């Protein structure tokens, strides 16, 4: 990511990046309260990109990825997230939605496999939640039951899950 703590200019008045020493230890926090179900921000200013550790997959094709180009890139993953990245509608309606009541000062998190099928940079999750899945590498590696237990999974991911499971039931290997 291009921003450093010294040169940091927030992109969203409601959010702030909490910079932490070390690689990938920073995250985004909210400066205001949100109620469950509330739209927290529209996702604007994105650009299409190849798959990277900051990109978000918006369709079933592996080349369908965008970059937030904003502080939203600092939202970490949690296995019990407080935010949905909802890209189920057309682009102008892409948004972040509160999955629960969120208080000012809380870190924001979304469930990365809700957008990502097969991640370019898997990692060992440190969310520490009871339902933590451990290694996070995309929905390809998660059972349909585990995904259905999540509060929000985007339709392109459920489409790929159904295809994977149908192929596997027919004895075909995953591409
Ligand atoms: C899009 S970046 C998020 C911001 C990142 N934490 C930073 O400081 O630049 C995604 C990367 O953050 C780290 N990350 C995000 N959520 C994590 C989690 N729950 N546990 C461990 N690492 C996480 C991983 O290294 C992941 O590849």
ipTM of the complex: 0.99
Tell whether the model's pLDDT for residue 74 goes beyond 80. yes
CB 34 near ligand 1, within 6 Å: no
Instruction: Look at residue 131 in the predicted model and tell me its pLDDT.
Output: 94
Q: Provide the whole-model pTM.
A: 0.96
Average pLDDT, the chain: 95
Q: Is 28 helix (H, G, I), strand (E, B) or coil?
A: strand
- Residue 17 banded pLDDT, cuts 50, 70, 90: very high
Tokens of 96: 């972040």
**Cα of 41 from ligand 1 centre, angstroms:** 20
Instruction: Look at residue 12 in the predicted model and tell me its pLDDT.
Output: 97
Tell whether the model's pLDDT for residue 164 goes beyond 90. yes
Q: Is 11 helix (H, G, I), strand (E, B) or coil?
A: coil
CB 20 near ligand 1, within 6 Å: no
- Residue 98 banded pLDDT, cuts 50, 70, 90: very high
| Residue with CA nearest ligand 1 atom 4 | 74
Tell whether the model's pLDDT for residue 2 goes beyond 60. no
| Ligand 1 pocket mutation pick from 29, 54, 76, 120 by most atoms within 8 angstroms of CB | 76
Burial 140-158 (b: 16+ CB within 10 A, else e): eebeeeebeebebbbebbb
Tell whether the model's pLDDT for residue 162 goes beyond 90. yes
| Residue with CA nearest ligand 1 atom 6 | 24
DSSP letter for 160, please.
H
Sequence-distant (≥ 6) Cβ neighbours of residue 42 within 8 angstroms? 92, 93, 94, 95
Tell whether the model's pLDDT for residue 73 goes beyond 80. yes
Q: Which atom of ligand 1 is nearest to the CA of 28?
A: 4
All structural domains of the chain? 15-169 (2.170.270.10)
Tell whether the model's pLDDT for residue 3 goes beyond 90. no
- Residue 175 banded pLDDT, cuts 50, 70, 90: low
Instruction: Look at residue 171 in the predicted model and tell me its pLDDT.
Output: 87
Contact between residue 82 and residue 98 where contact means Cβ atoms under 8 Å apart: yes
Instruction: Look at residue 124 in the predicted model and tell me its pLDDT.
Output: 98
């Amino acid at each position: 990511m291009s921003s450093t703590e010294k040169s940091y200019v927030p992109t969203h008045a409601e959010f702030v990046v909490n910079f932490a020493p070390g690689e990938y230890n920073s995250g985004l926090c909210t400066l205001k309260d949100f109620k469950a179900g509330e739209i927290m921000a529209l996702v604007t200013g994105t650009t299409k990109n190849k798959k990277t550790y900051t990109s978000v997959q918006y369709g079933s094709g592996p080349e369908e990825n965008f970059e937030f180009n904003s502080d939203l890139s600092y939202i970490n993953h949690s296995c019990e997230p407080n935010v949905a990245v909802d890209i189920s509608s057309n682009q102008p309606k892409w948004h972040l939605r509160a999955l629960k009541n969120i208080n000012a000062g809380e870190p924001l998190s979304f469930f990365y496999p809700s957008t990502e099928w097969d991640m370019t940079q898997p990692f060992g999750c440190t969310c520490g939640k009871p339902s933590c899945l451990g290694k996070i590498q995309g929905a390809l590696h998660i059972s349909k039951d585990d995904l259905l237990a999540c509060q929000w999974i985007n339709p392109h991911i459920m489409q790929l899950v159904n295809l994977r499971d149908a192929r596997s039931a027919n004895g075909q290997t995953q591409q």
